């Protein structure tokens, strides 16, 4: 059972996350010939204040 564990910066809406899950599922299905019903996708949202870029938080850098 393939499992994709994705970490993304907070701020996406439910529709965007649903589209991401669908696209990742399709990519795994296509590339590995895995049945869709066996694929799991876990999306973890990370607060911008906990996402580091070049020694600063994304929040400090104004990243979205």
Q: What is the DSSP letter of 29?
A: H
- Helices and strands, number each (H, E), in the chain: 2, 4
35 as an active site residue: the answer is no
- Closest C-alpha to 46, from 10, 16, 15, 13: 10
Catalytic residue among 2, 8, 34, 59: 2
Q: Which residues belong to the active site? A: 2
């Amino acid at each position: 059972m393939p499992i994709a564990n994705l970490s993304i910066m907070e701020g996406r809406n439910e529709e965007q996350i649903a589209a991401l899950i669908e696209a990742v599922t399709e990519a795994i299905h296509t590339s590995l010939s895995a049945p869709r019903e066996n694929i799991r996708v876990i999306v973890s949202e990370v607060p911008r204040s906990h996402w580091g870029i070049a020694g600063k938080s994304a929040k400090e850098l104004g990243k979205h």
